[in-house]
Amino acid sequence: MSIFMASVGFGLITSAVLAIAAVGFTLQFAVTDVLNLAFAAVMTAGAFVAYWINQLGVSIWLALVVAMIACSVLSVALNLGVYAPFQRRGTSPITIVIVSLGMALIIEFGVEAIVGGINVSYTMSQGGTLEAGGLILTTVQLTIIAISLVVMAGAHALLRYTKLGKAMRATAANRSLARNCGIRTGRVITFTWALTGALCGVAGTVFAIDVGSFGPTSTDLFVVLILAAVFLGGPGHAYGAMLGAAAIGLATEVSAAYIQPDYKYVIAFVALLATLAVRPSGLLGART
Amino acid sequence: MSYLITLVVYGAVDVIACLGLSLQFGIGGVTNFGYIIFQAAGAYVAAILALPPESANGGFQRYIGGFDLPFPLPWVGAAVAGGVLALPFTFLVGRRLRGDFAAVGLLVTAVLLNLLVMNFVPLFNGDAGLASVPAPLQSAVMPVTSSSYQWEFAVGVVVLAAAVFWFIRHITESPYGRALRAMRDNDKVADSLGTNLLSLRTGMLVVGGAIAGLSGGVLVTFISVWSPPAWTYAETIVLFAAVIIGGRGNHVGAVVGAVLVPVGFEESTRLITNANPSLPPNLLPSLQWVAIGLLIAAFLWFRPAGILPERRRLIALPAPSTQPRAHAQQAPAEPDRAGVPDRAVVKVQPAPPSAPTSPPPADTATAPPDIVLEATDVSREFGGVHAVSGVSLSVTRGTLTGLIGPNGAGKSTLLALLAGTDRVSAGTIRYQGQDVTNVAAFRRARLGLVRTFQLASEFKRLTVLENLLSAAPGNRGAGFFGAAAGRRYWRDDEAAAIAKAADILRRFGLEGLANSNAGDLSGGQRRLVEIMRALMTEPRMLLLDEPMAGVHPELARRIGDLLVGLCRDGMTILMVEHELAIMDEFCDPVIVMADGSVLAQGTMAQLRDRTEVVEAYLVG
């Protein structure tokens, strides 16, 4: 297998993990109006919940479901306990971003206080390998890609074909107008936190599976990728986030094959700043 | 003893850093989540300026240059480096980008630069950083290790911190500081009143960056090492926590915050560790971060203004000896008012603006002489929705033109396009014969084309008088260098602006509220503040968006009379209003909009006879 194809393989997996996180982040921002910088910290919490369940002898895939539920509950709690009260009071968006940074510190370092500064790995089998078209992937890697595809298809179906999805889009477009049209925006928002929190739990666990060994601060750099994917696609656009995740995932891993791997984040960083500078509404966002 | 010295120096360094952030964030409202970058950069530059060339100490570490410069050049270099480094980031803080998006960009930059510096050994020596940075002014007579040297260093740094405090207070308590606070409270409105947001924010990034750089430079020459792992993005949050807890917009609060948060946390961690040596090594630092997160959230919830809230700036109104001047505004018989040159010229024109005997002052020949504002085929699209489509209209000098139409007709959007706070999708806008279609809102405001907003838009944490003063054009102290030059440089301009503001306040009967915070006023009073503030800009044309909405009918009438008076003096006004009675009484002509287009134009009497107009209004 050539270096190029190998890096494409890594790119696909990174894109798959990234897409789950980016769609969760962007939907959260679109519907709830909170630019939640604690997202990656919640991912970490989910990864560790999965770790603790996994340590009890449970399969990691079952543990993933538990992490999903845990992050869903944690996200709803964050909103009901912190963000929603601030929003009701009319706090400015930038202040809520600062609050979310505070939440990120509490969660990330709360986890670190519990587990200590060590890195851990899941107990799991990598399964066999499959080769197709010059790509060699393990069963686990294929499973991650499959999960991601299911999540993307699910997000598409939800937004496109269900009443709830339409209510989410309406709430995102104009919250007060949606409320005046009879949409229970409060419920829609709580549902969105539950859903995006679940995505966050999935993303955290598959991220941890993918990197192999992880610690409480492992997602610090992954945030750069999430934000790059979200902003590249256009903040608030689910399809944009998918597109952004594919682009950023492939670009970082393929470039890592040719330059020093430590610098692979630079390309995501440049993409993010260039988007902010040239087209803040992103590739799929409306031009203003 | 040496521990106490270290504590004093660290405290002073934190105070300097927090003061820079207090100016940048607390006064200017620029949320720079990458603040630590500037401190780290200043520290690095101070280190390489002070270090001898690489080869001189055996080449055990790699760095750029090595200039062996004497004190105080490394410190000066640190401040310059922090300021210069801010320049590439100015693209993030213009008018186009939301403040929270810019903050995210800066946060990511801080994360990334830290990663790069730690990994890129050739340039910055990787995560080992730099060591053996020479201390300032060391000599054989007074070695660095001696306690007298250490004490003198500590005293020197405290004096420096005091000087930084004096400087930023000096900057803050000036018309420039007021412009910054106005921008912080509502940037869109500040823009519409003629404030150049990009220039103000660039100034904040550069000055804040320079102060951060200085603090880093001082630190590195004291501890003699530059260590990248100590400059993580999270350190920025500590400084933010200090400013929020101390009090945003209060520099004394920032000093208090610096002592409580960074210094207090280090101290308490040390004391707890000493008392319980058996604790796991990572536990306390982790809990420290958790506590900082909790403190930020708790303060923003329970005491958002901080321990020492921003104080109200009280300004005494001059005695009403200026009363005759106020009268002159309404009685157009006295042409000799010095303060308001434009309108004094226009005022002597006869009332009917179409009268051929009154050539308007110095207009270009491209537009008919009495047309002040002209829109041709103007459209604005929002994602497929035509909010305004193909609108052409012209406003004649000296008229109070009404703009009515059902909800969603596109009136407010049209007003925004005319004022430049929103950009047209197609069409051209000419103001006094000049094509202003692509002229930014603040420049249109400086040309005398000023708008007000439908929603409350007062600068909340400024007093009523400050709200007015913030709009006064041509104050020499409104720029950074003017403010730095000192009160003597700008006090005459300031006095003139205060006198003018006092005139306007008395005319509106609000002089009693001059020193109240605008955020504490009633809805109707806020509308008045907005109109008064617009008048402070010496406008030639006002674009008013429902100025009488939510105002007591009696007061609405007074506002109407006043607007008519202004028009008689030569001002031109275009006013969006829903109340037909007001249109009837004050506006002529009236433009009717529906579904993004102009439906009709004429006097109210003429419009009443046109069935499609009545229908549009009733059906809509």
What would the pLDDT profile of B345-370 be if each residue is shown by its tens digit? Answer: 333 333 344 434 444 444 444 545 58
Handedness of CA B201, B207, B213, B219 (dihedral sign): negative
A86 and B300 within 8 Å at the Cβ level: the answer is yes
Both tokens assigned to A226: 């999430």
Strands B572-576 and B400-404: what pairing? parallel
Count interface pairs A-B at CB distance under 8 A. Answer: 128
Chain position carrying tokens 């998006």: B101
Please list every residue in chain A whose beta carbon sits closer than 8 Å to the beta carbon of residue B295. 102
Please list every residue in chain A whose beta carbon sits closer than 8 Å to the beta carbon of residue B108. 223-224, 227-228, 269, 272-273
H or E segment to which residue B599 belongs? strand B597-602
Answer yes or no: is pLDDT of B257 > 70. Answer: yes
Task: Print the SS3 string covering B57-121.
Answer: HCCCCCCCCCCCCCCCHHHHHHHHHHHHHHHHHHHHHCCCCCHHHHHHHHHHHHHHHHHHHHHCH
The CA distance from B113 to B479, in Å, is 32
Residue of A33, A42, A101 to mutate when probing chain B, most B C-beta within 10 A: A101
pLDDT band (50, 70, 90) for residue B340:
very low
Residue B328: per-residue pLDDT: 40
The CA distance from B337 to A150, in Å, is 75
pLDDT (tens, 9 = 90+) of chain A, 288 residues, equals: 578 888 888 899 999 999 999 999 999 999 999 999 999 999 999 999 999 999 999 999 999 999 999 999 999 999 999 999 999 998 999 999 999 999 999 999 999 999 988 899 998 887 788 877 778 888 899 999 999 999 999 999 999 999 999 999 989 888 888 888 888 888 999 999 999 999 999 999 999 999 989 999 888 889 889 999 999 998 889 999 999 999 999 999 888 888 777 778 888 888 888 888 888 888 876 544
A94 and B31 within 8 Å at the Cβ level: the answer is yes
The CA distance from B498 to B491, in Å, is 10
A99 and B103 within 8 Å at the Cβ level: the answer is no
**Closest by Cβ to A113, choosing from B109, B111, B286:** B286
Q: Minimal Cα distance from A231: which residue of B?
A: B101
Mean pLDDT score across all residues of chain B: 85
What would the pLDDT profile of B388-410 be if each residue is shown by its tens digit? Answer: 988 999 999 999 999 988 888 88
H or E segment to which residue B581 belongs? helix B580-586
Residue of A103, A105, A288 to mutate when probing chain B, most B C-beta within 10 A: A105
Q: What are phi and psi of A5, to 5 degrees?
A: -65, -40
Instruction: Give the neighbor-by-neighbor strand order of the sheet with B434-435.
Output: B385-396, B371-382, B426-431, B434-435
B286 and A112 within 8 Å at the Cβ level: the answer is yes
B31 and A82 within 8 Å at the Cβ level: the answer is no
Chain position carrying tokens 């829609």: A188
Q: What are phi and psi of B578, to 5 degrees?
A: -95, -30
Please list every residue in chain A whose beta carbon sits closer than 8 Å to the beta carbon of residue B293. 101-106, 109
Residue A286: per-residue pLDDT: 58
Q: Chain A: nearest CA to B289, how far in angstroms?
A: 6
Residue of A42, A83, A94 to mutate when probing chain B, most B C-beta within 10 A: A94
Please list every residue in chain A whose beta carbon sits closer than 8 Å to the beta carbon of residue B104. 35, 37, 97, 227, 231
Please list every residue in chain B whose beta carbon sits closer than 8 Å to the beta carbon of residue A286. 382-383
Answer yes or no: is pLDDT of B220 > 70. Answer: yes
ipTM at complex level: 0.92
Is there a contact between B209 and B512 (Cβ–Cβ < 8 Å)? no
Residue B58: per-residue pLDDT: 67
**Closest by Cβ to B112, choosing from A97, A266, A280:** A266
Tell me the CB-side half-sphere exposure of residue B195, using CA atoms within 13 A. Answer: 32
The CA distance from B40 to B46, in Å, is 10
* Segment B411-416 long-range contacts (CB within 8 Å, at least 24 positions apart): B411/B545, B411/B576, B411/B593, B412/B454, B412/B545, B412/B576, B413/B380, B413/B387, B413/B388, B414/B375, B414/B378, B414/B380, B414/B388, B414/B593, B415/B451, B415/B543, B415/B545, B415/B574, B415/B576, B416/B451
A99 and B382 within 8 Å at the Cβ level: the answer is no
The rounded percent of chain B whose pLDDT value lies above 90 is 49
Is there a contact between B157 and B6 (Cβ–Cβ < 8 Å)? no
Answer yes or no: is pLDDT of B458 > 50. Answer: yes
CA A287 to chain centre: 25
Please list every residue in chain A whose beta carbon sits closer than 8 Å to the beta carbon of residue B297. 82, 99, 102-103, 106
First to last CA, chain A: 46
Residue B347: per-residue pLDDT: 33
Residue B353: per-residue pLDDT: 40
Q: Chain B: nearest CA to A102, how far in angstroms?
A: 4
The CA distance from B169 to B177, in Å, is 9
Q: Chain A: nearest CA to B305, how far in angstroms?
A: 12
Residue B523: per-residue pLDDT: 81
**Closest by Cβ to A224, choosing from B112, B244, B292:** B112
Find the length of chain B. Answer: 620
The CA distance from A195 to B4, in Å, is 52
pLDDT band (50, 70, 90) for residue B616:
low
Residues B60-89 have a mean pLDDT of: 89
Residue B173: per-residue pLDDT: 95
Find the length of chain A. Answer: 288
Answer yes or no: is pLDDT of B341 > 50. Answer: no
> For residues B125 and B199, which has the higher predicted lDDT (pLDDT)?
B199
* Residue in B515, B520, B517 with CA at minimum distance from that of residue B314: B515
Handedness of CA B362, B368, B373, B374 (dihedral sign): negative
B107 and A288 within 8 Å at the Cβ level: the answer is no
Question: Of the spans A45-59, B140-154, B327-341, B544-558, which averages the highest pLDDT?
Answer: A45-59
Q: What are phi and psi of A215, to 5 degrees?
A: -135, 180
